[in-house]
């Protein structure tokens, strides 16, 4: 698995950069995507300064998507549909697309503590509708904030992965579990992404009121639920 590159669309931004940093620290091969190849390379260089021997590069978004079959989408909801339409020709059949997008009302000038209604049910389901069925979509990482990802310490948060394809879910859980502190759980079908996305708005409310970095832990399940088969 170490040789499978992870392409992060919007990876020069807060969430994508944090994930890129964590996967670079875990020894994974990472491609940072940006609308601007130079910005992507700058972000990759920044990670190289923090992580000795990091296997990381920067590319324009479509080139990054074409260079990997594990694509992580970290862009704001307001550009979600347009970006996916633009990337669609570059995404290879059989690829996994991991959607981290939260359709926050802030995207349209509203509050970050509220979500928008998405016709398909969630941003991740919108992604699945926009992409060919040969691309398997998972929803994940909605509750792991960029502030925590950018630190060096373990992340006190579980990652819940939703996908209609169990093999996709397993792969994404394996990559999530490479982040120290993260337990990666199977959150069931992609339709549950709606719930994941809404919980983020609640966590943002906690973080604002209590001046912290709220995360989430799922408790009370048998050990097997926290272990990836």
Ligand X SMILES: NC(=O)c1ccc[n+]([C@@H]2O[C@H](COP(=O)([O-])OP(=O)(O)OC[C@H]3O[C@@H](n4cnc5c(N)ncnc54)[C@H](OP(=O)(O)O)[C@@H]3O)[C@@H](O)[C@H]2O)c1
Positions that interact with ligand X (CB under 6 A): 10, 12-16, 34-36, 39, 74-77, 79, 83, 100-102, 104, 141-142, 145-146, 200
For tokens 């307001």, what's the residue?
A: 78
The number of beta carbons lying within 10 Å of the beta carbon of residue 166 is: 10
Closest CB to ligand X: residue number: 13
C-alpha 156/C-alpha 227 separation (Å) is 17
Min CB(146)–ligand X separation in Å:
4
Q: Is 36 helix (H, G, I), strand (E, B) or coil?
A: coil
Nearer CB in complex with ligand X: 55/86: 86
Question: Tokens representing 19?
Answer: 């994930």
Min CB(145)–ligand X separation in Å:
4
Q: Which residue in 44, 170, 201 sits closest to 98, CA to CA?
A: 170
Min CB(122)–ligand X separation in Å:
12
Nearer CB in complex with ligand X: 55/198: 198
Nearer CB in complex with ligand X: 1/50: 50
Nearer CB in complex with ligand X: 79/116: 79
Angle at 82 between CA 176 and CA 140, to 5 degrees: 15
Nearer CB in complex with ligand X: 51/104: 104
Min CB(18)–ligand X separation in Å:
7
Q: Are 122 and 142 in contact (CB under 8 A)?
A: no
Min CB(19)–ligand X separation in Å:
9
C-alpha 222/C-alpha 73 separation (Å) is 31
């Amino acid at each position: 698995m170490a040789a499978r590159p992870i392409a992060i669309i919007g990876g020069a931004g807060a969430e994508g950069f944090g994930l890129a940093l964590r996967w670079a620290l875990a020894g994974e091969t990472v491609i940072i995507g940006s609308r601007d190849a130079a910005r992507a390379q700058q972000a990759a260089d920044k990670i190289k300064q923090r992580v000795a021997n990091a296997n990381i590069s920067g590319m324009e978004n479509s080139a990054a998507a074409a260079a990997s079959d594990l694509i992580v989408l970290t862009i704001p909801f307001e550009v979600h549909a347009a970006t996916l339409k633009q990337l669609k020709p570059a995404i290879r059949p059989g690829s996994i697309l991991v959607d981290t997008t939260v359709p926050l009302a802030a995207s349209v000038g509203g509050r970050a503590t509220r979500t928008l209604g998405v016709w398909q049910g969630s941003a991740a389901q919108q992604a699945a509708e926009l992409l060919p069925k040969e691309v398997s979509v998972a929803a994940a990482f909605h509750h792991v904030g960029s502030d925590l990802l950018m630190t060096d310490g373990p992340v006190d948060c579980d990652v819940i992965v939703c996908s209609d394809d169990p093999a996709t879910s397993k792969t994404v859980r394996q990559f999530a579990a490479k982040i120290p502190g993260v337990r990666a759980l199977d959150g069931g079908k992609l339709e549950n992404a709606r719930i994941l996305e809404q919980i983020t708005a609640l966590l943002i409310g906690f973080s604002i009121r209590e001046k912290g970095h709220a995360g989430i832990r799922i408790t009370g399940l048998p050990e097997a639920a926290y272990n990836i088969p």
